[in-house]
Amino acid sequence: MAYIYEEPSRTFSEFLLIPGYSGADCTPANVSLRCPLVRFRHGTEPPLQMNIPLVSAIMQAVSDDKMAVALAKEGGVSFIYCSQPIEQQTAMVSRVKSYKAGFVTSDSNIRPDAPLRDILALKERTGHSTVAVTDNGTSSGKLLGIVASRDYRVSRMTGDEPVSSFMTPIERLVTAPASTSLHEANDIIWEHKLNALPIVGEDGRLLYMVFRKDYESHKENPLELLDSDKKYVVGAGINTRDYTERIPALLDAGADALCIDSSEGHTEWQRRVLDWARGRYGEAVKIGAGNVVDAEGFRFLADCGADFVKVGIGGGSICITREQKGIGRGQATAVIEVARARDEYYAETGIYVPVCSDGGIVHDYHITLALAMGADFLMLGRYFARFDESPNNRVSVGGNYMKEYWAEGSARARNWQRYDVGGEGKLTFEEGVDSYVPYAGGMKENISLTLGKVRSTMCNCGAKTISTLQKNARLTLVSATSIVEGGAHDVVLKENNRGR
């Protein structure tokens, strides 16, 4: 008969942290969330570190170049999704590495012959009222004009009017050349009382937009994550099929770290990817692998040369692998066992291989629990999918704004390579769903609140660093009754708006 674990498979919600002694200097302002991203040897510094322990998931609905820039500004890393052609993924990486702070690639663009109703649909989808009119309707087309909300009145128009009939044409626009600095762009905006300034190339093509509302956000972000050339750090996903073409292309584009995007990492396919990469690039290429849920899986990938190991199978909010296949493990139990295996591996070899907890996060405090249990950082999908910076559509559902969110194992994504088990077969059944998540606005305010909670909780445990939290934290299991007691109870709430 099969081997049966005596301990049940547990989730983060089944644990609580026990507070410890906090010194006078143990305040949230003094807490550092710096963590290693890739493996390093004892006595050396990690080649890549992050200033916050968060990375965004390798998903179509989560991680593109816009998300990568936004998260790097906050100190984390995005892994741009790989379920797209190599050329498109490398273009996203290149845009991140060439990003100029304050210069935004327009994501609201339209052709001049499109009707007003298309403008309204675009505004509904993106939430942006300023739309660039280009000859081909793309962000890099020849700029013909701009449409702002002041240019039309829906109540007096049919919706069939072409954009060209009410846009502000290029002849009446204030624009700036490619050589314009951010300081100069902001001066032009204030001098001419503009809401947006198009940056246009010599050939008349739109390059960037600089927005008046972004002026304050152009101030330096103290935790922004930069490489040695002062460019934003960005990651990219790879698969176990076209890696011999995709890896060189991504590295040429400037990707700082790669990660194998797979539902299960304890496989010969991942060994082959890591062997090929090490044989060609040695230690120069940084590749994470996964996912695994036990010590054996971690040891396998660590021995294969993985730079970090992702933990978690079936714990994602849109993942139905456990329902479909009966495979997986409670995320808390998986993280605890893998983190213990990492420490044993470090003691034996002197090589520290960071652990990434992927999935199972429902509440903000689960992040702190995962870190206390041994995770070095976390990969989040649903959390980031809610924000303006994610590439998914914003839609109105039942009068409430939502963001579309779908799994890589869903029929919509059709990312069959993520579930590759050899052979030439395609995805024959779904391991994920297509869904909505409540729209939460911009990332900066939300991530500041989340990490504020993490820092505060760490202070309650007397820890100013993640490593200290892992060393000193004390965890207790909670009963079902205790879980109920932990929330508001035996009262009538005035409103149900207490946040995540």
Query: For residue 221, what is the DSSP state?
Result: P
Find out whether 79 and 96 touch, Cβ atoms under 8 Å: no
Torsion of CA 200, 202, 205, 208, to 10 degrees: -30
Which residue in 334, 328, 381 sits closest to 359, CA to CA? 381
Find out whether 82 and 240 touch, Cβ atoms under 8 Å: no
Query: For residue 277, what is the DSSP state?
Result: H
Which residue, chain included where needed, has tokens 């409670």? 330
* CA neighbours closer than 13 Å in the CB half-sphere of residue 253: 27
Instruction: Indicate which residues carry an active-site annotation.
Output: 319, 418
Distance CA 146, CA 5 (A): 63
Which residue, chain included where needed, has tokens 């906090």? 22
Which residue in 500, 336, 311, 324 sits closest to 407, CA to CA? 324
Q: In the numeric block, which tokens belong to residue 66?
A: 């816009």
Find out whether 106 and 84 touch, Cβ atoms under 8 Å: no
Q: Where are the alpha helices (DSSP H) in 28-167?
A: 65-74, 86-97, 116-126
Length of the chain as a residue count: 500
The pairs formed by 212-221 with CB atoms below 8 angstroms and a separation of 24 or more are 214/102, 214/104, 215/186, 215/189, 217/444, 218/101, 218/102, 218/182, 218/186, 221/73, 221/74, 221/75
Tell me whether the omega of the peptide bond preceding residue 460 falls within 30 degrees of 0, making it cis: no
